[in-house]
Amino acid sequence: MPSLIDSFQQAGQGQVFAFLDQLDAGARARLLAEAAEIDLAEVARLNRTLLAGGAAAFELGDLVPAPYEALPEHGGSAEAWGRARAAGDAALTAGRVAAFTVAGGQGTRLGYDGPKGTFPVTPVMAKPLFQVFAEKILAAGRHYGRPLHWFIKTSHQNHEATEAYLAEHRWFGLDRGRVHLFRQGRMPAVDFQGKILLEQPGAIALSPDGHGGSLRALARHGAVDLMAAEGIDTLSYFQVDNPLVRCVDPAFIGWHLLGGSEMSSKTVPKAYPEEKLGHFCLRGGRLAVIEYSDLPLALQREVGLDGQLRYRAGSIAIHLLDREFIRRVTRPNSGSELPFHRAEKKIPTVDAAGRPVRPAQPNGVKFELFVFDALPFARRPLVIETRRADDFSPVKNAEGVDSPQTCRDDQLRQAARWLAAAGAAPPVDASGRPPWPIEVSPLFGYDEETFGRRWRQLPAPPAVGAGLYLE
């Protein structure tokens, strides 16, 4: 069997070891360990399919908007939603569901120094994202009498910092034994000739393999087996940047289970045609998400006979995954491997003398997997509508749309709505935002219903005013 170095040479990737002689023993060992992570056959395949000939035009194929299950206020059957809700409640009571946060991104747009989950996000207490999710998961566990397992996918870059942070905060009240952190895989960046780039003389330019890498990471790190051992068949997937998300949503879970679906996704109607959300479509008869950058503007703007956008079903990156489906799509040669996508990037590297190079223009390609690419492989996949105001307000950018400010405002509007529904209407502006900060701990109420119940039980409800925190 050829040595690792030989196999890199045979694959035309010997440049990875160009500076090996100059490295000390520790640095050599680290470089060899990084090289051992790389699947050279996979890199060769990606170079052939995604690199040669440049970025291929996206093939739309035979495309129509995907059908979805509408909310009762948009024409859905209230009775069917009631049945779904009951089925989801039963599944949660039976302990069949676990929560799953993908937190392996680099968060470059936010520009925050540290794992994104540690970013303070709530309006009064400045709780970090991880605390918001932990408290929602804790509250749901108490409500259903079955504490939930919580899987968190980290990256090599932020794993230790994430673990140390959660430990320092005593797992925000959760049972340590039910919180499972694992690292996602990495992929090497290549130059436009397909050569694997070095970031430093002793380090390969490796980056996280995308949120679609979640599925392989779940299988590789034993999460799927743990789910089986614990009687969990459904995984509730959400992103680390969205504090409004219902970490486990009984009606969504019920639709998924009653429909015998292997993967289900939430949708919100796009707020305006050019909104940067993926679109749920049927492509060649199979459910798929088409990114906003791939769907021609004319289609994004197309209006149907009912006066609504035809391609209005936007993806907000909330999914349910069946355990055995994860096992199936991650099995080698299953025929259902997720496709990689290429992204041209400015990748810090070294020149022939080993000196650092910080390119001003893209100098290579990173390969990433997207989780929604699993949908076409799923049996009976479903798209279920949700109310944006109760499920989606991501923190992506430092300023402007999808920023800490817009997310804070959405949290304030939610608290005001819940208070109004419970009969304590605070004053609000035209956008529904109260004049002062109000925050509801998930442990007080994690949706309108649990909030209302708790509020009405208070012997003396507090005055609704500046800086209110309900705990």
Q: CB of 109: closest distance to ligand UTP in angstroms?
A: 3
* CB atoms closer than 10 angstroms to residue 464: 18
Rounded CA-CA distance 413/434 in Å is: 7
Pick the stretch among 96-104, 163-171, 188-196, 454-462 that binds ligand UTP (CB under 6 A). Answer: 96-104
Query: Of 241, 385, 402, 447, which lies in the binding site for ligand UTP, with binding defined by CB under 6 A?
Result: 241
Residue with Cβ nearer ligand UTP (342 or 417): 342
Q: Is the dihedral of CA 226, 231, 236, 240 positive or negative?
A: negative
Rounded CA-CA distance 269/254 in Å is: 21
141 binds ligand UTP (CB under 6 A): no
Helix (H, G, I), strand (E, B) or coil at 243: coil
Residues forming a β-bridge with 194: none
**Tokens linked to 364:** 């290579």
**Tokens linked to 142:** 């108490």
Query: Of 211, 266, 342, 433, which lies in the binding site for ligand UTP, with binding defined by CB under 6 A?
Result: 211
Residue with Cβ nearer ligand UTP (109 or 220): 109
Biggest CA pair distance of the chain: 76
Residues forming a β-bridge with 367: 342
Residue with Cβ nearer ligand UTP (154 or 450): 154
Which whole-number Å values give the CA distances from 173 to 146, 190, 264, 323, 329, in the listed order? Answer: 15, 43, 30, 27, 34
Pick the stretch among 44-52, 99-107, 399-407, 423-431 that binds ligand UTP (CB under 6 A). Answer: 99-107
**Tokens linked to 439:** 């925050």
Residue with Cβ nearer ligand UTP (19 or 133): 133
Residue with Cβ nearer ligand UTP (208 or 442): 208
Q: CB of 85: closest distance to ligand UTP in angstroms?
A: 27
Residues 340-399 that bind ligand UTP (CB under 6 A): 396
104 binds ligand UTP (CB under 6 A): yes
Residue with Cβ nearer ligand UTP (239 or 411): 239
Phi/psi at 325 (nearest 5 deg)? Answer: -65, -45
Residue with Cβ nearer ligand UTP (130 or 446): 130
* CB atoms closer than 10 angstroms to residue 394: 20
Pick the stretch among 173-181, 193-201, 203-211, 429-437 that binds ligand UTP (CB under 6 A). Answer: 203-211
Q: Binding-site residue total for ligand UTP (CB under 6 A)?
A: 20
239 binds ligand UTP (CB under 6 A): yes
266 binds ligand UTP (CB under 6 A): no
250 binds ligand UTP (CB under 6 A): no
**Tokens linked to 211:** 């949120």
One symbol per residue from 396 to 425: x for binding ligand UTP (CB under 6 A), - otherwise; what is it?
Answer: x-----------------------------
Query: Of 13, 47, 184, 411, which lies in the binding site for ligand UTP, with binding defined by CB under 6 A?
Result: 184
Pick the stretch among 103-111, 119-127, 291-299, 412-420 that binds ligand UTP (CB under 6 A). Answer: 103-111
The C-alpha angle with vertex 459 and arms to 456 and 465, in degrees rounded to 5, equals 75
**Tokens linked to 245:** 């998300």
185 binds ligand UTP (CB under 6 A): no
- Is 93 buried (19+), middle (13-18) or exposed (0-12) by CB count in 10 A? middle
Rounded CA-CA distance 396/123 in Å is: 17
Q: CB of 359: closest distance to ligand UTP in angstroms?
A: 18
**Tokens linked to 121:** 């996000």
Query: Of 129, 139, 240, 316, which lies in the binding site for ligand UTP, with binding defined by CB under 6 A?
Result: 240
Q: CB of 106: closest distance to ligand UTP in angstroms?
A: 4
Residue with the shortest CB distance to ligand UTP: 105
Q: CB of 273: closest distance to ligand UTP in angstroms?
A: 21
* CB atoms closer than 10 angstroms to residue 162: 25
Q: CB of 187: closest distance to ligand UTP in angstroms?
A: 9
105 binds ligand UTP (CB under 6 A): yes
The C-alpha angle with vertex 231 and arms to 228 and 233, in degrees rounded to 5, equals 75
Pick the stretch among 21-29, 220-228, 233-241, 376-384 that binds ligand UTP (CB under 6 A). Answer: 233-241
State how beta strands 179-183 and 203-204 pair.
unpaired
Considering only CA atoms, give the Rg of the chain. Answer: 24
Rounded CA-CA distance 82/353 in Å is: 67
Residue with Cβ nearer ligand UTP (30 or 109): 109
Query: Of 96, 136, 153, 312, which lies in the binding site for ligand UTP, with binding defined by CB under 6 A?
Result: 153
Pick the stretch among 33-41, 108-116, 196-204, 217-225 that binds ligand UTP (CB under 6 A). Answer: 108-116
**Tokens linked to 467:** 């800086």
Please check whether residue 426 is in contact with residue 438, taking contact to mean a CB–CB distance below 8 angstroms: yes
What are the residues binding ligand UTP (CB under 6 A)? 102-109, 116, 153, 184, 208-211, 213, 239-241, 396
